[in-house]
Structure 1
Amino acid sequence: MNPTRRRFLTGLSFMAVAPAVLAACGSEDSSSGGSTGGSASEAPADESAFPVTIKHKYGETTVEKAPERVVCIGLMDQDSLLALGIVPVGVTYWFGDEKLQGIYPWAEEAFGDAELPLLLKDADGVEVEKIAGLAPDLIIGQYTGLNEQDYETLSKIAPVVAQSGDYPDYSMPWTEMALTIGTAVGQKAKMQEIIDGVTQQIADAAEAHPEFEGQTAALITPYEGLFIYGPEDPRSRMLTDLGFTLHPVITTADDSEFGISLSAERTADLGDVGVAVWYDLNADKTVAGIWEGLPSAKEGRFVDINEKQDGSYYVGHSFVTPLAIPYVLERYVPQLAAAVDGDPATTVPSSKI
């Protein structure tokens, strides 16, 4: 898959919802603001953890001492830092309300009253000059498609911990991204505790809903027909962690790790899915019209997550991080439970709590 297209699809069906998202963002360009971001909080690094060397897609990087000014070029890397009590000085915008500057509702408590980080944008490439201006001593890029040329350029500014080469870009498991970030800032043990706590919440949810086991699921967005997220996408992994099995339309496809594109007419292939999780189902009227006539749709076996209903949940569902997962599970699990029962009279609850 073309890297640019993959980067686009990580942000859902963005062309279809752009007007609504831009309206939510407002007219102010936060990326040009004067803020220089927060700093490390009271959570201390383990000085004995340094120097630490981390292997990644482009080799390895050694962090000599506890960083004080961290820039995130990964689209959701800030959450793992915030979970450790570290506020980055710069974060990279993905989607949602720009005025929040990368600090979403699930991260507000961890953020506290620190100074907001500078919001970077990578739509036209990495903003090298702005990153240099932040004088970072560590650059983190886990949920990213960072290329080798930009890695080499950024490495002249500060040590760069790039994404793993063991997975396609934007496909690292959230546990590995979080642990890598924790290791880089000298808090590996603390991060492991956080990861263990969150994975236990997921396991508890799966145990509480044995009806998920054996049911097929698909995570779908209308985009040039359909795009169905594959088994290596963090959001699809969340479904399998909860007990679901991904639908054969994705698991039997070639080169489907990140996802597959299908024509709108192929919506009919999902007629027997146990649960369909849609991003903006009605963004494509042809897709929605075919879906409405299928058995799974008639049985109410679907969840529609869209920005108009709940913008924070819409964004949070894609932030598969230690802070976002508990926020999402509280809303997502009841929705899945209502959808999976196959009774059209069961109303899928709102995501607003």
Structure 2
Amino acid sequence: MNTSRRRFLAGLSVLAVAPVLAACGSDSGGGTAATDSPSGSAAPEEAAFPVTITHKYGETTIESAPKRVVCIGLTDQDTLLALGVVPVGVTYWFGDEELKGIYPWAQEALGDAELPTLLKDTNGVEIEKIAGLAPDLIIGQYAGLTEQDYKKLSAMGVPVVAQNGDYTDYGTPWDEAALTLGAAVGKPKAAQELVDSVKKRIADEAAAHPEFKGQTAAVITPWEGLFIYGPEDPRSRMLTDLGFDLHRVITDADDSEFGISLSAERTADLGDIGTAVWIDFDADKQVREIFEGTPAYAEGRWCNISDADGSYYVAHSFVTPLSIPYLLDRYVPQLVAAADGDPKTEPPAVTS
């Protein structure tokens, strides 16, 4: 299994990421020394501060506009960039590490600004490296920050905003995450306008494709058998926002908010699905061969997104205000081809 695939799988579920995000400080030594140059940001909106934000571990008050923001959420940088705030540190998830968390859909928003420092959480939150960046705000929305690490970060005397406690870790909807990020950097109105514009784009796609409505769908990946994403996962939410209903395999399951793991043999249960969105379909020979024997496969009711698809592969999981338009340009044509039930209709190739 390649490095990108392993890192991607680390974000599959709370159970999968819990060991990765175990409460321990970084053992990587000193961090990158901070400079006097703040992250790029426009002036905050009038009366935006002070602001108090409620999160999983309590409340955090931010007294003034932050200038050095560190993202411990895996996708938070996109919203900040869209609002004109360039973070000084971002946390790597998966994909091309050389891009430092700034993918094609976000590069225009970055402009000529300096790329942020890349943080890694594979051995725990890099406390020392974050301290070395001299942040004045640490925030994580698409995150699974532990209470112990929250306390360690707060001990720096810097405002720390953890993930929303109303949802499972890594389960905060993209729009709510964006509004929280906007409030934290003093741009709540701009964040609302951003969210509204992206929601309109999604609604327009749904309206343009009434064939999606009422059809069952699921996002699936071969992982220790079969993993099917649940209703609180952003990838599933995107399908339902486009008009699909989640397949009964996931909706009938107990404790399936983020997703469920099934044995490979259960792949046959997806035989009647309207549209199957596979991630890395070829990763497990047994799963692939079982699905190839189903009516859904025979009718061409599936598409596959793999790491060979580059940034599109990453965009499918990012689900942010910046990545969604980029994603929809590539994703919707694939869904259309899969949803028509005609095996002669091949999902179009995508470009990164």
Report the TM-score when normalising by structure 1: 0.90
CA deviation map 1:296-344 (0-9, x unaligned): 0011111100011x11000111011000000000110111011100000
1:196-345 pair list within 5 angstroms: 196-308=196-308, 310-345=309-344
Residue 43 of structure 1 is matched in structure 2 by 42
Contact 2:136 2:159 in 1 (8 A): yes
Q: Give the secondary structure class of the aligned counterpart of 1:228.
A: strand
- Unaligned stretches of 5+ residues in structure 2: 1-5, 17-27
Matches within 5 A, 1:170-209: 170-209=170-209
> 1:36–1:90: 8 Å Cα contact kept in structure 2?
no
Give the Cα–Cα distance (whole angstroms) in 2 for the partners of residues 68 and 250 of structure 1. 43
Mapped contact 2:79–2:181 kept (Cα < 8 A): yes
Greater alpha carbon shift after TM alignment, 42-51 vs 32-41: 32-41
| Maintained 8 Å contact 2:82/2:109 | yes
Q: Deviations over 1:11-62 (max 9, x none)?
A: 59xx9xxxxxxxxxxxxx9x98789797443522125211100000000000
> Structure 2 vs 1, CA of residues 295 and 134 (structure 1 numbering), >3 Å: closer, same or farther?
same
CA distance in 1, matches of 2:258, 2:206: 24
Which amino acid in 1 is paired with 2:174?
W
Residue pair 1:36, 1:118 contacting (<8 A) in 2 also: no
What is the rounded CA distance, in whole Å, between the counterparts of 2:229 and 2:101 in structure 1? 24
* SS of equivalent residue, structure 1 residue 276: strand
Q: Is the 8 A contact 2:94 2:314 kept in 1?
A: yes
CA offsets per residue over residues 207-246 of structure 1, 9 Å max, x none? 0000000100010010010000000001100000000000
Displacement of 1:151 after TM fit?
Answer: 0.4
User: What is the TM-score with the length of structure 2 in the denominator?
Assistant: 0.90
The secondary structure found in structure 2 opposite 1:143 is coil
SS in 2 for 1:318: helix
**Aligned amino acid, residue 72 of structure 1:** C
Sequence identity, in percent? Answer: 69
Unaligned runs of 5+ in 1: 16-28
What is the letter of the counterpart of residue 144 of structure 2?
Answer: G
> Which one-letter code corresponds to 2:43 in the other structure?
P
2:11 aligned with 1:10: yes
- The CA deviation at 1:10 is 2.2
Instruction: Name which of structure 1's ranges 150-159 and 242-251 shifts more when overlaid on structure 2.
Output: 150-159
Q: Which residue type is aligned with residue 208 of structure 2?
A: A
Q: Is contact 1:106–1:327 with CA below 8 Å preserved after alignment?
A: yes
Q: Could you say which residue in structure 1 is the equivalent of 2:138?
A: 139
- CA displacement 1:46-79 (0-9 Å, x = unmatched): 2521110000000000000000000000000000
Q: Distance in 2 between matches of 1:313 and 1:8?
A: 16
The 1-side partners of 2:33 and 2:48 are apart by 34
Distance 2:239 2:32 in 1: 38
Verify the 8 A CA contact 1:38 1:116 in the aligned structure 2: no
In the alignment, the residues of structure 2 paired with residue 32 and residue 323 of structure 1 have an alpha-carbon distance, to the nearest angstrom, of 29
Shift of the 199–319 alpha-carbon distance from structure 1 to 2, 3 Å rule, reads same
- Structure 1 pair 55–42 and aligned structure 2 pair: CA distance change class (3 A): closer
* 2:3 matched residue in structure 1: none
Structure 2 counterpart SS, 1:48: coil
- The residue aligned with 2:101 is 102
Deviations 1:131-177 (A, max 9, x none): 00000000011111101111011012210011011000000000000
1:163 alignment counterpart:
163
Corresponding position of 1:70: 69
**Equivalent residues of 2:89, 2:117 under 8 A apart:** yes
Figure out how many residues of one structure are paired with residues of the other and give that number: 332
- Tell me how far apart the structure 2 counterparts of residues 149 and 34 of structure 1 sit (CA, whole Å): 25
Three-state SS of the structure 1 residue aligned to 2:317 is coil
Structure 2 CA distance for aligned equivalents of residues 36 and 209 of structure 1: 50
Over the aligned positions, Cα root-mean-square deviation in angstroms equals: 2.2
Q: 1:32 to 1:99 in 2, by over 3 A?
A: farther
From the superposition, tell whether residues 11 and 271 of structure 1 become closer, same or farther in structure 2 (CA, over 3 Å): same
